[in-house]
């Protein structure tokens, strides 16, 4: 964290500025932000940024390895094997907690990762609002690897749409206009022209997929920008779950990214990784003996999202109660450090790095980020709604 910018921000901050910030965020899409937005960005120095990128690149080394798909074949649930598999994931994200290393310096620790999109549109919208409201110095940027707002959005649009017309591409989710992430769907629609469509709206004719637009006209779907989480689909009523079976059929449609990658690049991958900034992780089924000092571990289900099912306070009884051990991991707990000084007490932070992978390129590239601030045990915005100086945010990086 960059102390000089933190002090600069805190000294200049006023509650009125925060209200202006919220007004700027809500002005374009009134009522679409359902989560708490933090008062402040996170200011990240070059050393911490490069540590995160070092860990990310080590994971990319594993993902691009010749044996990665064989290692992760079992990660994809049999009931959700969707035709049209692809050899790479167009989008990946990596979540890091800000901790303190043995040398006393801040260091990142990888908490989770996903071969799945994130708030790619909203974070650009948020970056603009934060910079304009707070007067963020120009030498700080939310982008990585030399990306600018223009080049970032250009690449995002190119990957999502490809050579198709925007109307042939849909952003697919379950009840997208009710999702807490819908602000991102609307920003993405603005930046790319891609329409959010609910799974329940889809139907097929032959091998072609269609939905009806607002005028009732059938629109063929050539490409799906996938935001659908199948774990959420499985929690729905039988008639809605049945709609998911449509996606298991042989269809003339492309996935961006294919659903397989939600599972392949996930908590399932963590036990195969070794890096100073990646905590040791083991499949619960591979642990015949109970480890000592369970308070040093966190228990996570492989197939869940938004922190659901995570056990922070692990006990022998909780482990003994698990029947499907192959679907759980035990991860060495990391100690989030209260590195963000705020007027009402320090906050912890988690930073998510976005990676984009263009077809034909040997590796993906880091492009942008989001951040979350917390003052509790759980870092997600859903767990911090009653605090201040917590919630969704983003990092401004020192440029190299």
pLDDT for res 390? 97
pLDDT for res 291? 78
First to last CA, the chain: 15
Name the least confident of 6-15, 31-40, 382-391: 382-391
Where does residue 400 rank: exposed (0-12), middle (13-18), buried (19+ CB within 10 A)? exposed
Distance CA 62, CA 358 (A): 18
pLDDT for res 378? 52
Taking Cα atoms as reference points, which of 127, 95, 107, 149 lies closest to residue 353? 95
Measured from the Cβ of residue 369, the count of other Cβ atoms closer than 10 Å reads: 27
Which residue has tokens 């790319």?
192
* C-alpha distances out from residue 66 to 24, 42, 83, 84, 88, Å: 47, 37, 22, 20, 12
Name the least confident of 101-110, 174-183, 265-274, 280-289: 280-289
Name the least confident of 139-153, 194-208, 244-258, 322-336: 322-336
Q: Is the pLDDT of residue 382 over 60?
A: no
Classified as helix, coil or strand, 126 is: helix
Segment (H or E) for 21? helix 15-27
Percentage of the chain beyond pLDDT 70 is: 96
**DSSP for residue 43:** E
Distance CA 250, CA 234 (A): 21
pLDDT for res 377? 62
The mean predicted confidence, pLDDT, of the chain is 93
Segment (H or E) for 51? helix 46-63
Domain ranges of the chain: 3-279+334-398, 280-333
> What is the pLDDT averaged over residues 16-24?
98
Q: Is the pLDDT of residue 114 over 60?
A: yes
Q: Is the pLDDT of residue 303 over 80?
A: no
Q: Is the pLDDT of residue 307 over 80?
A: no
**Beta strands at 348-356 and 365-374: parallel, antiparallel or unpaired:** antiparallel
Taking Cα atoms as reference points, which of 245, 165, 253, 167 lies closest to residue 207? 253
pLDDT for res 27? 95
> What would the pLDDT profile of 186-238 be if each residue is shown by its tens digit?
999 999 999 999 999 999 999 999 999 999 999 999 999 999 999 899 889 99
**101 in Cβ contact with 51 (< 8 Å):** no
> What is the pLDDT averaged over residues 93-109?
96
Distance CA 3, CA 340 (A): 9
**Beta strands at 395-398 and 42-44: parallel, antiparallel or unpaired:** parallel
pLDDT for res 369? 98
**171 in Cβ contact with 227 (< 8 Å):** yes
Q: Is the pLDDT of residue 306 over 70?
A: no
pLDDT for res 138? 93
Q: Is the pLDDT of residue 381 over 70?
A: no
Higher pLDDT, 319 or 194: 194
**98 in Cβ contact with 108 (< 8 Å):** yes
Q: Is the pLDDT of residue 75 over 80?
A: yes
pTM of the model: 0.93
pLDDT for res 155? 98
Q: In this structure, which long-range contacts are made by residues 316-323, counting pairs with CB atoms below 8 Å and at least 24 apart in sequence? A: 316/290, 319/284, 319/290, 319/294, 322/284
Confidence class for position 311, pLDDT limits 50, 70, 90? confident
Q: Is the pLDDT of residue 379 over 70?
A: no
């Amino acid at each position: 964290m960059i102390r000089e910018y933190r002090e600069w921000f805190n000294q200049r901050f006023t509650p009125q500025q925060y209200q202006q910030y919220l007004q700027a965020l809500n002005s374009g899409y009134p009522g679409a932000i359902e989560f708490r937005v933090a008062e402040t960005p996170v200011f990240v120095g070059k050393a911490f940024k490069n540590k995160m990128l070092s860990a990310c690149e080590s994971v990319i080394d594993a993902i691009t390895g010749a044996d990665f798909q064989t290692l992760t074949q079992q990660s994809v649930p049999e009931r959700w094997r969707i035709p049209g598999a692809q050899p790479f994931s167009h989008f990946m994200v990596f979540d890091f907690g800000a901790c303190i290393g043995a040398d006393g310096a801040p260091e990142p620790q990888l908490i989770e990762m996903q071969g799945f999109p994130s708030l790619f549109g909203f974070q650009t919208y948020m970056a603009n609002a934060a910079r304009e409201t707070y007067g963020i110095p120009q030498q700080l940027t939310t982008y990585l690897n030399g990306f600018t707002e223009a080049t970032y959005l250009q690449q995002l649009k190119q990957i999502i749409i490809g050579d198709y017309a925007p109307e042939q591409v849909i952003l697919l989710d379950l009840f997208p206009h009710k999702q807490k992430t819908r602000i991102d769907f609307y920003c993405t629609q603005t930046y790319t022209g891609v329409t959010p469509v609910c799974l329940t709206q889809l139907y097929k004719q032959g091998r072609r997929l269609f939905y009806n637009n607002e005028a009732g006209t059938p629109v063929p779907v050539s490409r799906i920008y996938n935001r659908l989480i199948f774990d959420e689909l499985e929690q729905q009523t039988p008639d809605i779950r049945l709609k998911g079976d449509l996606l298991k059929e042989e269809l003339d449609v492309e996935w961006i990214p294919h659903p397989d990658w939600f599972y392949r690049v996930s908590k399932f991958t963590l036990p195969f990784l070794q890096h100073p900034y990646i905590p040791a992780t083991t499949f619960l089924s591979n642990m015949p003996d109970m480890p000592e000092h369970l308070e040093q571990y966190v228990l996570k289900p492989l197939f869940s999202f938004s922190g659901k099912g995570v056990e922070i306070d692990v006990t022998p009884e909780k482990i003994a109660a698990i029947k499907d051990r192959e679907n759980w991991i035990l991860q060495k707990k990391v100690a989030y450090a209260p590195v963000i000084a705020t007027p009402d007490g320090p906050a912890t932070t988690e930073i998510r790095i976005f990676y984009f992978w263009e077809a034909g390129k040997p590796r993906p590239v880091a492009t942008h980020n989001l951040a979350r601030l917390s003052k509790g045990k759980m870092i997600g915005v859903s767990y911090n709604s009653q605090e201040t100086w917590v919630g969704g945010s983003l990092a401004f990086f020192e440029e190299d």
